[in-house]
A and B are shown apart, each in its own frame.
Chain A
Amino acid sequence: MNVKILGSGCSACQSMYNDVTRLITRHDWKIDLEYVQDIERIMSYGVMSTPVLVIDEKVVMVGHRGSSKIEQVLRDAFSVQVS
């Protein structure tokens, strides 16, 4: 599974990135994680605020909504992939 975090280096973006890396190490998930800071690439997803969580090229979360929300979204994505 491919996960991207789009952010311009602000504190909310950084904490989303930290949450995701923590979740990946804790659950030993097989995820390719990328932190996208290039503004032209960020804009190509059609978003107007950051941070953004992207799973397999789909925008799934805009704004930092807490670690538990992120975990839930990632789990949902995994279960879709398995089924």
Chain B
Amino acid sequence: MDQSLAQPSHKPQWQMGALLVVITAAWLAAYNLIQPLADWISYSALNLARGSHLGDAIAFFLYDVPKILLLLSGMIFLISILRTFFSPERTRALLGGKRQGIGNVLASLLGIVTPFCSCSAVPLFIGFVESGIPLGVTFSFLIAAPTINEVAIVMLFGLFGWKVAGLYIVSGLIIAIIAGMVIGRLNLERFVEDFVWKMQASGGVEGEKLAWSDRIQRAWESVKEIVGKVWLYVVVGIAVGAGIHGFVPESALAGIMGKQAWWSVPAAVLLGVPLYSNAAGVIPIVSALMEKGASLGTVLAFMMSVVGLSLPETIILRRVLKPQLIAVFVGTVALAIIITGYMFNFVL
């Protein structure tokens, strides 16, 4: 059965390469066409006036939806190719024998590139701790992996530009490193459910050997899966964002979501926790809010809490962690996010 793990490639390499070139060219052409097309539909075909509320809202919507969907497919394809070079098993091997500190940094970085879904949090947690990786280092990974979310990166890049996307990645890393180090220092091993320590590490699955055509095929599969899952949120989110863009007056939100409102950062974090699955829909709304005076720190804190502190993942982790450790985990991450939010509001 081993040959079925390393899927044999069905198409010859050159055919796959040619297909990739054609798709890339089509992608680039489409990406350059959407702006003039959106303008033409809204201002010529629909005959709406430039600068009118409705005209601007529709042009914004018609431009942003295809742009974000194109960006999502393209970048998730590239990220997925990169991820085929990593696996939880490989990450565990890389983290083995690393101490606190350096281990936390490495675990957070690997959290970005290792394929991870929150439903695998429990087997991954057990796999890490039973192989002797310190609790704090394991948490750095478990915080970074969902917080630095590929859909969020692409959408921030598409709607805010590379600087904000970069800030998001860097602050996600810092939160994961610091929260993991704090949890490691607190010596909370006794709050891990007892059965976890009794489990015996079993041999594990041997690594897969993948050809390039397999990697491309897998990346294509995950593009279909992820874009298929989030496209509706993207469309609805951008529609609401476009409405705000066209109709809400400038700086209307400066009072409640601006830098002066000190309570807006913790409020944004609290609001973000139950909104897990809507990360894709939240970002366009948030981008429109920012345009109207909400500050970057508040907005980033909200985003981080939406993607990083998810209720479903916490419930899943309850199977291996006692309530005290869950509380410390959520508390530390929430605090780290709040501090990061204030930092951005203060510095920028």
Contact = CB atoms under 8 A, between A and B. Distances in A.
Contacts of B128: 48
Query: What size tier do the contact residues of chain B reach?
Result: 20 to 34
B94 interface: no
Contacts of A42: 123
A10 B117 contact: yes
Interface string B101-140: 0000000000000011111101110111000000000000
A22 interface: no
A76 B6 CA distance: 13
A80 B218 contact: no
B204 interface: yes
Contacts of B89: 48
B195 A47 contact: no
Interface residues of A, number: 34
Contacts of A46: 201-205
Q: Which DSSP category, helix, strand, loop or mixed, fits chain B's interface?
A: helix
B95 to A, nearest CB: 12
A39 B1 CA distance: 24
A48 B127 contact: yes
Contacts of B194: none
B218 A65 contact: yes
A48 B319 contact: no
A80 B123 contact: no
A12 B294 CA distance: 36
B120 A39 contact: no
A26 to B, nearest CB: 20
Interface string A18-45: 0000000000000000000001101111
A67 to B, nearest CB: 11
B7 interface: yes
A61 B214 CA distance: 14
Contacts of A43: 123, 126-127, 199, 202
B31 to A, nearest CB: 27
A41 to B, nearest CB: 11
A59 B205 contact: yes
Which residue, B7, B92, B123, B320, has most C-beta atoms of chain A within 10 A?
B123
Contacts of B201: 46
Contact of A62 (B92, B127, B203, B205): B205
A60 B5 contact: yes
A2 interface: no
A5 interface: no
Contacts of B115: 49, 63
Which residue, A45, A55, A62, A69, has most C-beta atoms of chain B within 10 A?
A62
Contacts of B92: 48
Contacts of B30: none
Nearest to B208: A62
B316 interface: yes
A73 B124 CA distance: 25
A39 B123 contact: yes
Contacts of B250: none
A40 B202 CA distance: 11
B88 interface: yes
Which residue, A13, A43, A49, has most C-beta atoms of chain B within 10 A?
A49
Interface of A: 7-13, 39-40, 42-50, 55, 58-66, 69, 72-73, 76-77, 80
14 contacts: A10-B117, A10-B118, A39-B123, A43-B126, A43-B199, A46-B202, A47-B127, A47-B205, A50-B120, A55-B1, A65-B221, A69-B7, A72-B4, A77-B4
